[in-house]
Amino acid sequence: MSATTEATSRDRVVPASRRPQDTRCPAARLPGLRHAAPALLGYLAVRITGIALLAQWAHAQGHGVWPILASDWDANWYLGIADSGYTHELGTEYDTNNLAFFPLYPVLVKAVAAFTPGSRASVGVVIAVVCSLVAAWGIFAVGDRLYGRRVGVVLAVLWGALPVGLVQWMGYTESLFTAVAAWSLYAVLTGRWLWAGSLAAASGLTRPTGIALAAAVVLAALLSLRSGFSWRALAGALLAPLGWLLYIGWVGLRLGRWDGYFEVQKLWHNQIDGGVVTLRMMRSIFFYDSTPELFLAMVSLTLIGSALLFVWCVRARQPLPLLVFTGLLLVIVLGSGGVYFPRARFLLPGFPLLLPVAVLIARATRRRALAALGGAVLVSAYCSAYMVLVWPSAP
């Protein structure tokens, strides 16, 4: 067998159910940095392309790039928490209570900034960039585990090339959340229950949607007990929701009422409404606006596409933990009555939704695969730059 044929055989797309079982110890199954290098390099190329276009566009408008990355939109909320902590009162005004934002990211910003030069805003971006690379590695690990190295590489590149992919390198929590979610799901797939539960607990301290990951880990761990008792699986199930519950409980104690966190969410109009606001916004954008705003149309198409991808994932019989995570993530994001425009960003951690597309691209010829990925990268770069440079000032 030639070297070329051997490489092709090794990298071909083979579902996990048809691949030989890996009998090595769990530590040996962790995909090393060298093994993941193509995915990380591909991801870096995607994000650098996006930053390059953003820099040129921003320069033409007389803007700097760094302020956009470091202190735009929600980044200011997290920096405010890192600087001054949380409020002590519920209040009555809309979108003014910072208890709606979970603590892990601002705590990391404050802790790292205490030992490094530069502002907390700069530290926040650096943390996001580092976490995005950890996330891309974990995403590759999941794809590689299920379908092989080629799919893992494509999956990581696709995640970087999402329409709002710029957020991965901004002072937000999406990269941190995706990193812990990807590695927690990988830990579930490889039976490392303590890691899965601990990382799910960390996700519950990062974003409210951490409850979706916790549910996926708990269900998978409990189902695993049918084949025999495991204290590690039971411990993982107990750990998984702990971070989310601790923060919800702490907010309740701070405000002096058990439902304190949910009252804060009401002030942000983020209570679950069954998708009424989502459908109303889509109807307005596509049927009533004579000239729909490009960014809001892109957000709507992302939400619709994500729902369709979930159906595809179900038909493809994706592993149950991944389906539970992405399914609940969609329910929370689509079923919320809160602000509409950031919802494409809220779905960034749902990388398993991209798995069927990654498999399809990995099976294509090299030319078609490069064309598909190249097109996704260019669309992502344009949409991301438009999001932060044009849309905020659009009439």
The pTM score is 0.91
For the beta carbon of residue 32, count every other beta carbon within 10 angstroms.
9
Give yes or no for a contact between 151 and 362, defined as CB atoms under 8 angstroms apart: yes
Rounded to the nearest 10°, the torsion over CA 158, 160, 162, 165 is 180
* 16 closest CA partner among 328, 228, 316: 316
Q: What is the residue-level pLDDT of the chain in tens, covering all 395 positions?
A: 443 343 333 344 545 544 443 433 344 456 688 899 999 999 999 999 999 999 999 999 888 888 889 877 789 999 999 999 999 999 888 888 999 999 999 999 999 999 998 889 999 999 999 999 999 999 999 999 999 999 999 999 999 999 999 999 999 999 999 999 999 999 999 999 999 999 999 999 999 999 999 999 999 999 999 998 999 999 999 999 999 999 999 999 999 999 999 999 999 988 888 999 999 999 999 888 766 688 899 999 999 999 999 999 999 999 999 999 999 999 999 999 888 989 999 999 999 999 999 999 999 999 999 999 999 999 999 999 999 998 765 44
The domain ranges of the chain are 33-393
Give yes or no for a contact between 254 and 99, defined as CB atoms under 8 angstroms apart: yes
Give the integer Cα–Cα distance in Å for 255 and 252.
5
State whether the Cα torsion 186-190-191-193 is positive or negative: negative
Q: Residue 272 forms beta bridges with which residues? A: 336
Give yes or no for a contact between 76 and 194, defined as CB atoms under 8 angstroms apart: no
Q: Residue 336 forms beta bridges with which residues? A: 272
Give SS3 for 156: helix
| Cα angle 103-108-109, degrees, rounded to a multiple of 5 | 100
Element containing residue 50 per DSSP (H, E): helix 33-60
- Token reading at 210: 């951490």
Q: What is the DSSP letter of 272?
A: B
- Token reading at 164: 């709002």
Give SS3 for 316: coil
Give yes or no for a contact between 123 and 116, defined as CB atoms under 8 angstroms apart: yes
